[in-house]
Chain A
Amino acid sequence: MELLSGADMIARFLKDEGVEYIYGYPGGAALHIYDALFRQDDVKHILVRHEQAATHMADGYARASGKPGVVLVTSGPGATNAVTGIATAYMDSIPMVVLCGQVASHLIGEDAFQETDIVGVTRPIVKHSFSVRHPSEIPTILKKAFYLASTGRPGPVVVDIPKDMTAPTERYEYVYPKKVKLRSYSPVTRGHAGQIKKAVDMMLKARRPVIFAGGGVISGRASEALTDLAKRLNLPVITSLMGLGAYPQNDRQSLGWPGMHGSYEANMAMHHSDLVFGIGVRFDDRVTNNVSKFCPTAKIIHVDIDPSSISKSVQADVPIVGAADNVLNEMLGLLSSRESVNQDALEAWWQQIEGWRSERAGKLYEPATPGEPLKPQQVVEAVHKITHGDAFVVTDVGQHQMFAGQYYKFNKPNRWISSSGLGTMGFGFPAANGIKLNYPDDDVVLFTGEGSFQMMMQELSTCKQFNIPVKIINLNNASLGMVRQWQDLNYKSRHAHSYMESLPDFEKLIEAYGFKAMTVRTLEELEPALEEAFRLKDELVFLDIHVDPREHVYPMQVPLGAMRDMLLSKTERT
């Protein structure tokens, strides 16, 4: 029998759970835990420079690996600083375990120094939370936290740990709980056989079907099954932004992503379809545009592991609660014994889709010629080329995010890392760091904007301490571009506070941390700079790339319209 303090139990549990890195920042209520971490070598702690960064680092790692990221913060301000990152993970269903120090039990409720009711604060943005009330509960609670975070529809779990629970003098028996059971939690895995059969029948009969696959296919590790099914039936595949990479974009059947800034062909195809097979998606309002005009002629099949996602915004005709891989494999099983698709109709459908595709081909934006200000889109294309479409691509939030999603093509899941649901500026840099740390041999590229980067730029110091050589592509339009775009379109170009008056000299800033930075202004400078940046494998390189501030992201859905109602450029509209 082994007696450990609560703090030592935490360190030991993390090791036994197979956690390699945790991300955090110390403070009074967490000091017993930090001391326990100091006295062991198995779990490595990464000291960030702001607790929000710890959550985004853990989040980035979780998105890339599918495993829960682990965060450790102190009570009060440490915990509240983590809130944005918890909400970010919650909105995108990312597995995360956040350990928060708390004031000692006898002080709770007394407005003690650095006391915040973090369980209360985070209640609407967690999958679940725990408060430790006895040190001996720690192993079970932690196991439950990891289990909840990573199964079913994943999400963040907060564990609140009063300081006396980790006191070195209080020692209890430690056994690693291999398994836990919660009587009120048993995520569904298998879909309903009858519903699955009905869905397959509908897919075989459909004349204008589309597959609409989301983040659930990625977190459910079902990309391969999805690809098999799409190939077998020759169906067009649209992925949500969260689902980018769930289906290879270099394949003819991929139509890209739909919605606000989705591709013309994806929005057109989905709008005109007669059957949407949605899987691991939540039909969010950035996709559907005006729900009452959404897909007027389509029947909806909706597969999701979370029943509350189904028929939330869009009424499903065939709801299927189940895990993506199970449902897809069941479908594949049914297919082998059946006749094929509605061949003639499908051929006509593909012709129509190819028509939409060629309508916009080559007209998406006007690349800069030598001497002109660079277009952000062409920078993304150049990065795609130099990384062979194989990098982890992390973004911040804004126009640059949309351009990265539009012009980098993903052929694998878990490579597109972006805060979609919450749209958190500042997410990108720490998330990229979390990935690079865990995948040191892969290229990790951050597309950011000068606005977003300044929200988390203190993390340069973390990169310096732990030697994290990410490549930062700062698409510098000297403005809060996405805000500016909306002001151009809706407020007669009254640019209220979307202009960054006093940007730093980014080269000097980066160099102050001992890293390499280059400024790029023209097409001629672009390729050599990129080549050098990626040649320097082991160095963080920051490219401050000045791009045309007048550029808008198109297509852009027209407010209150249907999916097909889009602005295609500053002068064209569908």
Chain B
Amino acid sequence: MRHIISILMENEPGALSRVVGLFSQRNFNIETLNVAPTDDPTLSRLTVTTVGDDRVVEQITKHLNKLVDVVKLVDLTEGAHIERELMLVKVKATGSARDEVKRTVDIFRAQIVDVTPSLYTVQITGDAGKLDAFLQAMGPIGVLEVARTGVSGIARGEKILSV
């Protein structure tokens, strides 16, 4: 099963490499990885999506918790949560494809954020599934470049991840 794990870690050099290193060292897989500072300058938030059965994911969270730089973590997929990813895509937009792209962009509630005579740059947010679906829809027309941020997420309701 796919899991989204959000981690608050010390905003220190080396902390990120410890987290990432753990995954390769223990043969855990990383599907996406996203890291940025938080409102607290001493903390970064890192979100990783991984796939594994319950036993593997239990090991992942235990080993992450053991890292001295990891202050707190949550497996968002254990409860209701909001998952978002942002993607920028350059797609071919010539001839009849130009309208076709525009229509699909509207259907997906994406935005065209840059234009040239031959291509559109599209910005789209959503869960990973929606982004995949958009890429699939664009496939026959011609996807030229993809930049995805990796998944970020937060629990629904009152639950708060903080120190």
A131 and B55 in contact, given A148-B68, A184-B71 (Cβ under 8 angstroms): no
Interface residues of B in 46-96 (CB under 8 A from A): 55, 58-59, 62-63, 65-66, 68-72
Cβ of B14 < 8 Å from any Cβ of A? yes
Interface string of A286-321 (1 = CB under 8 A from B): 000000000000000000001110011001000000
Q: In the bound complex, do residue B71 and residue A123 qualify as a contact, i.e. CB atoms below 8 Å apart? A: no
Interface locus among B17-25, B141-149, B154-162: B17-25
A6 → chain B closest CB, angstroms: 19
Of all chain A residues, the one with the shortest Cβ separation from B65 is A307
B46 → chain A closest CB, angstroms: 13
Of all chain B residues, the one with the shortest Cβ separation from A182 is B68
Q: In the bound complex, do residue A129 and residue B25 qualify as a contact, i.e. CB atoms below 8 Å apart? A: no
Q: In the bound complex, do residue B58 and residue A311 qualify as a contact, i.e. CB atoms below 8 Å apart? A: yes
Cβ of A183 < 8 Å from any Cβ of B? yes
A184 and B10 in contact, given A307-B65, A311-B58, A312-B59 (Cβ under 8 angstroms): yes
Q: In the bound complex, do residue B62 and residue A307 qualify as a contact, i.e. CB atoms below 8 Å apart? A: yes
Q: In the bound complex, do residue A124 and residue B21 qualify as a contact, i.e. CB atoms below 8 Å apart? A: yes
Cβ of A44 < 8 Å from any Cβ of B? no
Q: In the bound complex, do residue B58 and residue A124 qualify as a contact, i.e. CB atoms below 8 Å apart? A: no
B61 → chain A closest CB, angstroms: 9
Q: Which residues of B contact A148 (CB under 8 A)?
A: 68
Q: In the bound complex, do residue B21 and residue A308 qualify as a contact, i.e. CB atoms below 8 Å apart? A: no
Q: What's the tally of chain B residues with a CB closer than 8 Å to chain A?
A: 21
Interface residues of B in 1-49 (CB under 8 A from A): 9-10, 13-14, 17-18, 21, 25
Cβ contact of B68, chosen from A184, A308, A311, A315, cutoff 8 A? A184
A142 → chain B closest CB, angstroms: 15
Interface residues of B in 85-127 (CB under 8 A from A): none
Cβ of A556 < 8 Å from any Cβ of B? no
Q: In the bound complex, do residue A123 and residue B68 qualify as a contact, i.e. CB atoms below 8 Å apart? A: no
B90 → chain A closest CB, angstroms: 34
Q: In the bound complex, do residue A120 and residue B68 qualify as a contact, i.e. CB atoms below 8 Å apart? A: no
Name the interface size band of chain A.
Answer: 10 to 19
Of all chain B residues, the one with the shortest Cβ separation from A160 is B14
Q: Which residues of A contact B66 (CB under 8 A)?
A: 306-308
Q: In the bound complex, do residue A184 and residue B14 qualify as a contact, i.e. CB atoms below 8 Å apart? A: no
Give the docked Cα–Cα distance between A124 and B21 (Å): 7
Q: In the bound complex, do residue A184 and residue B18 qualify as a contact, i.e. CB atoms below 8 Å apart? A: no
Q: Which residues of B contact A185 (CB under 8 A)?
A: 68
Cβ contact of A308, chosen from B18, B62, B69, cutoff 8 A? B62
Cβ contact of B17, chosen from A120, A311, A315, cutoff 8 A? A120
Q: In the bound complex, do residue B14 and residue A129 qualify as a contact, i.e. CB atoms below 8 Å apart? A: yes
Q: Which residues of A contact B65 (CB under 8 A)?
A: 307-308
Interface string of A55-87 (1 = CB under 8 A from B): 000000000000000000000000000000000
Cβ of A128 < 8 Å from any Cβ of B? yes
Q: Which residues of B contact A183 (CB under 8 A)?
A: 71, 163
Of all chain B residues, the one with the shortest Cβ separation from A309 is B62
Q: In the bound complex, do residue A131 and residue B69 qualify as a contact, i.e. CB atoms below 8 Å apart? A: no
A119 and B14 in contact, given A307-B62, A311-B58, A312-B59 (Cβ under 8 angstroms): yes
Q: Which residues of B contact A308 (CB under 8 A)?
A: 59, 62-63, 65-66
Give the docked Cα–Cα distance between A185 and B66 (Å): 8
Give the docked Cα–Cα distance between A119 and B17 (Å): 10
Give the docked Cα–Cα distance between A183 and B43 (Å): 12
Give the docked Cα–Cα distance between A123 and B67 (Å): 11
Q: Which residues of A contact B70 (CB under 8 A)?
A: 184
Give the docked Cα–Cα distance between A184 and B42 (Å): 12
Q: Which residues of B contact A120 (CB under 8 A)?
A: 17
Give the docked Cα–Cα distance between A127 and B68 (Å): 8
Cβ contact of A128, chosen from B17, B21, B58, B68, cutoff 8 A? B68
A314 → chain B closest CB, angstroms: 11
Q: In the bound complex, do residue B14 and residue A131 qualify as a contact, i.e. CB atoms below 8 Å apart? A: yes
Q: In the bound complex, do residue A124 and residue B25 qualify as a contact, i.e. CB atoms below 8 Å apart? A: yes
B98 → chain A closest CB, angstroms: 48
Of all chain A residues, the one with the shortest Cβ separation from B9 is A184
A123 and B163 in contact, given A183-B71, A184-B69, A308-B62 (Cβ under 8 angstroms): no
Q: Which residues of A contact B14 (CB under 8 A)?
A: 119, 129, 131
Give the docked Cα–Cα distance between A312 and B163 (Å): 28
Q: Which residues of B contact A311 (CB under 8 A)?
A: 55, 58
Give the docked Cα–Cα distance between A148 and B67 (Å): 11
Q: Which residues of A contact B55 (CB under 8 A)?
A: 311, 315
Q: Which residues of A contact B10 (CB under 8 A)?
A: 184
Interface residues of A in 80-135 (CB under 8 A from B): 119-120, 123-124, 127-129, 131
B58 → chain A closest CB, angstroms: 7
Most buried by A among B14, B58, B59, B68: B68
Interface residues of A in 257-289 (CB under 8 A from B): none
Cβ contact of B13, chosen from A131, A306, A315, cutoff 8 A? A131
Most buried by B among A131, A308, A311: A308
Give the docked Cα–Cα distance between A128 and B67 (Å): 8
Give the docked Cα–Cα distance between A119 and B16 (Å): 13
Closest 8 CB pairs of A and B: A308-B62, A184-B71, A128-B68, A124-B25, A307-B62, A308-B63, A185-B68, A123-B21
Sampled A-B contacts (17; CB under 8 Å):
A119-B14, A123-B18, A127-B68, A131-B14, A148-B68, A182-B68, A183-B163, A184-B9, A184-B10, A184-B69, A185-B68, A307-B65, A307-B66, A308-B59, A308-B62, A308-B65, A312-B59
Given contacts A124-B25, A184-B70, 8 further A-B contacts (CB under 8 A): A119-B14, A124-B21, A127-B68, A129-B14, A131-B14, A148-B68, A307-B66, A312-B59
